[in-house]
Chain A
């Protein structure tokens, strides 16, 4: 057990979202002014707590318009978690776009968004004319 934590008041409380248990985390500053996470039951909680404190990020999932009448919306997502402050801008940018079908799952729709290194990718395969990307009726 490390004894670095002074018995000061916590600087932040949060619930870990790494898994369904949802540990209640408490963050403290130790004497060296670095952040210490308590209340976590596994190492992922420690990492989540620090990241959420210094630079919170989220995976963004949304849809954008297509040029197809059969599939008017294309499901998209970021390939990594995006720093939270960029989310609103990313959404308004992608709502202005129209994607031409066909599109294969994984296709990059927006590359290296705002210099974050995060790409926006298609999360479904959509063909232009019908459900070829799926399975045709066959007997």
Chain B
């Protein structure tokens, strides 16, 4: 077994892993990226549509273009990269971290590291997760898998398509399937509002007159060898109204019903996870419950823009550097999700180093107000033109915001949206 020493091992070579690794290297740390696929870039490589990079590069790029900007920087650095390599175990003890992986080139490799960054991303929720009744024919794909088949492998998964869920990947795939000559008959969304961005409803559905059924569910999949049709049932006050059910003939069902942070490895290392996000619980420095192991990007919580992922990962990289220099926050305040807030990330706030928080609301509202309270006293209040659950909100604290904060050891910071 090959054994190697590094300051930092970054697990995952997508946007989060690359941005975190670059920042670690910039801070003088010996850094290695371990990537399961044969290429850096992660899911960006199959997201050939535009809309990436408006914040990071101030121009609208496609996924592969966004990835290449980072890949070029990695190549120009002396960051080590191990491709086609799967991490199989992560062990942390008082002396350091051990990352065991399997590489086709080097066989079993063990890294001894002082810190680890988890940047493994997400996997898609599938049919089993949403329990659609019916037969089990071929032709049921997750939207991301279909995206890979079309954009990377060059296969068209089907001709007559129904999309379940109005998440952005589902909407983008509705347009993509139309543009490769398939017919998309409908998008079915269980919620009374779309879960993707409005601009994607317009340019991916309305442009092609694809109907969007809100408050509807696919209640049955039918077909022997291949999907033949689906039954769709409207919800009335959240209850399926079977009398109004109707059928849509189709040969393909694409599921865009959410993402699950891929934290199997984190669990092995004994890291505490959040039931709200499915990601690790992190403190104000993006450090998990296991000291020296950090988490960022979609494995921490699902982001809607890769630009946010890159920003968060870079911040994580600089916190790794601070940690390895022995600089740890003197005081941290626990953050609580208040009224109409699903979760806030990270879960701790350092009043001595005001930083950025990301959160998701539970409501759709125009002219909303985001309020941050420290022990019931308002410390920040921001107007938001429009909030909805599918659009992540960020709130940035300045030195002035925290100037007169006097938290005690059991202070709580509460974030709410009204």
**Interface residues in chain A, defined as those with a beta carbon under 8 Å from any beta carbon in chain B:** 14-15, 17-22, 41, 58-63, 65, 72-73, 75, 77, 84, 87, 91, 95, 105, 123-125, 131, 134-139
Contacts and interface: CB of A to CB of B under 8 A. Distances in A.
Given A124-B45, A134-B39, A139 B82 contact: yes
A91 B179 contact: yes
Interface string B193-212: 00001110111001100000
B243 interface: no
A13 to B, nearest CB: 11
A139 B38 CA distance: 15
Interface of B: 2, 4, 32, 38-41, 45, 48-50, 60, 62, 64-65, 68, 71, 74-75, 80-85, 103, 105-106, 150-154, 179-180, 197-199, 201-203, 206-207, 385-386, 391
Nearest to B153: A72
26 contacts: A15-B201, A15-B202, A17-B199, A17-B203, A20-B198, A21-B198, A21-B385, A41-B385, A59-B50, A61-B62, A62-B48, A73-B153, A73-B154, A77-B62, A91-B179, A105-B65, A123-B48, A123-B62, A124-B62, A125-B68, A135-B40, A135-B74, A137-B82, A137-B85, A138-B80, A139-B106
A63 B179 CA distance: 10
B72 to A, nearest CB: 9
Contacts of A65: 154
Contacts of A87: 179
B83 A137 contact: yes
Contacts of A138: 80-82
Contacts of A41: 385
A125 B68 CA distance: 8
Nearest to A18: B199
A127 to B, nearest CB: 11
B39 A124 contact: no
B40 A134 contact: yes
A20 B154 CA distance: 31
B197 A20 contact: yes
A75 B64 contact: yes
A62 B156 CA distance: 13
B74 A63 contact: no
Contact of A131 (B39, B50, B64): B39
Contact of A137 (B2, B60, B75, B103): B103
Contacts of A14: 202
A87 B207 CA distance: 12
